[in-house]
Amino acid sequence: MKKSIYIFYILIILLNYSCSKDNADQKNIDESPGIVTLIFPENNTECNEGTVISDTQSEVTFRWNPSKNADSYVLEINNLDSNTTQNINTSVTEEKVVLERGANYSWKVISKLNSTSLTTYSSTWRFFNASIPIKSHVPDQALILKPIPNSTLDFCPVTLEWTSNDKDNDISFHEIVLDLNYPPTAIIGSTNDNSFQPNLLSGKTYYWQIITIDSDGNKSSSEISSFIIDSSVDSSICSPGVSSSTITDLVKDGSMDNTGDWKLRQLWTASDNSVNHGFVDGEYAFRSADGVRYSNAILWQEINVEHGVVYSFNMNVRSSGTSNSWLEVYFGSQDVNNGSDEYTDGGVQIFVKSFGDNENCGVNSYDGSIFDVAKNGCPIPSESLLNQDGKVVFSSSDLTSNGTIILGIKAGNYDGTFGSGIFIDDVSLIAD
């Protein structure tokens, strides 16, 4: 009996505690401010309403529905671009706030009740405060289609293809930038279409991009793409364009008849550079001076060319054999008389040397095209503008300020001799 009375009293106590706790929770709910509903600026929109104060600022009106039980509010506005926040205390449901134009914002409202420390937060909305209306958009970046980037092509001719777009639909034309160097700088042509056939060479890597220009002069550049034309492809079919050059052979006095078109400059210093060079019976001879085993000199002339046009270069060379000597061809853009005791502008295009591995085609006697001679131990440098067939396309960056190239033929030896001499003739640069 006593046990039953004891259990009865415990149940009475638990029931009283539960009712007391429920009443306290209900009191907290009743005394908490309600969550407001945001009205304006609307979520994820561009806000074009408001009063323009200046080119950089506008006044925007924020509005929200009233909260149940709230005595006041905190309007919290965050500039997402500058990561700065404005907190505005108010007792009304509408506030005018000065904002930066052309910036992204988020905002929310905190409801407060004076009789309690409890607060409630609305959802967070985002918007873009409109800037000065854009009258002209920059064209979208052109998208490269063909050739597929980094691909190797076994065919010619090659057509460059891309897509382009402009919000104002006012694209005027595209400029084609194509070069053997990275990044490309030579503008080889322009078109209103989305395709272009350039003059190319086999065995070369090309870098290219498209510049899109609209009617207001706004420009955008595509990403840089690249492709390789396999050396097995015949270069003659890779050049659909027609040169505007009216000169057949651009080299003056290529037959070496001493007409005054060639110039000679001895390099290094005079004391260690005695030579016995000169014109001999329709050839030019690079010969050693008696007792001198060190020499360096360059025979050169300036030639008018066009960028983007395919040319064929050739030169006949002969010798009975040399030691520690070189014969090098340059296409430069800098003056030979530049004050330096050396000339390497543009890099070696093709060479005949007698120094050992990969520079050994000039040791024994030879007579013929420099390209045939070089095949026997003197590979064409990878950075050369020439391909294995002697084809070359100049970009605007390869030319002098006058639109010319410096054709330089340099010969020398280092503790060696030219033997009976290195003889050159039939030097030609012909527009295909």
Say what the pLDDT of residue 23 is.
Answer: 47
Say what the pLDDT of residue 350 is.
Answer: 96
Cβ neighbours, 10 Å, residue 16: 10
Range of the domain at 188: 143-237
Q: What share of the chain is helix, strand, coil (3-state, %, to 5)?
A: 10, 45, 45
Domain count within the chain = 3
**Same domain, yes or no: 335 and 404:** yes
In this structure, are residues 196 and 159 in contact, taking their beta carbons and an 8 Å threshold?
A: yes
Q: Two tokens at 278?
A: 């000169």
Phi, psi of 167 (to 5 degrees): -60, -30
**Same domain, yes or no: 153 and 118:** no
**Same domain, yes or no: 231 and 114:** no
Q: Two tokens at 30?
A: 């009743």
Q: Which of these three, 129, 158, 187, is where a domain ends?
A: 129
In this structure, are residues 298 and 265 in contact, taking their beta carbons and an 8 Å threshold?
A: yes
Is there a domain that residue 244 lies in?
Answer: no
Measured distance CA(143)–CA(158) in Å, rounded = 17
Report the amino acid identity of residue 24: A
Say what the pLDDT of residue 24 is.
Answer: 43
Is there a domain that residue 277 lies in?
Answer: yes
Say what the pLDDT of residue 3 is.
Answer: 53
In this structure, are residues 46 and 130 in contact, taking their beta carbons and an 8 Å threshold?
A: yes
Burial class (CB within 10 angstroms; exposed 0-12, middle 13-18, buried 19+) of 238: buried
**Dmax (CA) of the chain:** 145
Q: Which of these three, 129, 162, 182, is where a domain ends?
A: 129
Report the amino acid identity of residue 309: V
Say what the pLDDT of residue 356 is.
Answer: 81
Say what the pLDDT of residue 116 is.
Answer: 82
**Same domain, yes or no: 216 and 173:** yes
User: Please, which residues bridge with residue 407 across strands?
Assistant: 301, 331
Phi-psi group of 69: left, alpha or beta (phi > 0 → left; psi -120 to 50 → alpha; rest → beta): left
List the CATH number of the domain containing 83.
Answer: 2.60.40.10
Measured distance CA(79)–CA(99) in Å, rounded = 9
Question: Which positions ≥6 away from 333 have C-beta within 8 Å?
Answer: 345, 346, 397, 398, 399, 400, 405, 406
Measured distance CA(30)–CA(215) in Å, rounded = 65
Say what the pLDDT of residue 64 is.
Answer: 95
Measured distance CA(251)–CA(258) in Å, rounded = 13
Say what the pLDDT of residue 25 is.
Answer: 44
Is there a domain that residue 64 lies in?
Answer: yes
User: Could you report the average pLDDT of every consecutive run of 10 residues in the chain (432 residues)?
Assistant: 52 50 46 89 88 90 92 94 92 94 93 87 92 78 94 93 91 90 84 91 89 90 93 78 51 92 85 81 90 88 88 93 94 88 92 89 92 92 90 89 93 89 93 76
Question: Which positions ≥6 away from 237 have C-beta within 8 Å?
Answer: 156, 157
Which of 103, 107, 95, 168 has its CA nearest to residue 130?
103
**Same domain, yes or no: 178 and 273:** no
Measured distance CA(252)–CA(229) in Å, rounded = 32
Is there a domain that residue 104 lies in?
Answer: yes
In this structure, are residues 293 and 404 in contact, taking their beta carbons and an 8 Å threshold?
A: no
Say what the pLDDT of residue 310 is.
Answer: 84
In this structure, are residues 361 and 378 in contact, taking their beta carbons and an 8 Å threshold?
A: yes
**Same domain, yes or no: 281 and 398:** yes
**Same domain, yes or no: 291 and 365:** yes
Is there a domain that residue 301 lies in?
Answer: yes
Is there a domain that residue 111 lies in?
Answer: yes
Measured distance CA(332)–CA(323) in Å, rounded = 27
Measured distance CA(66)–CA(89) in Å, rounded = 14
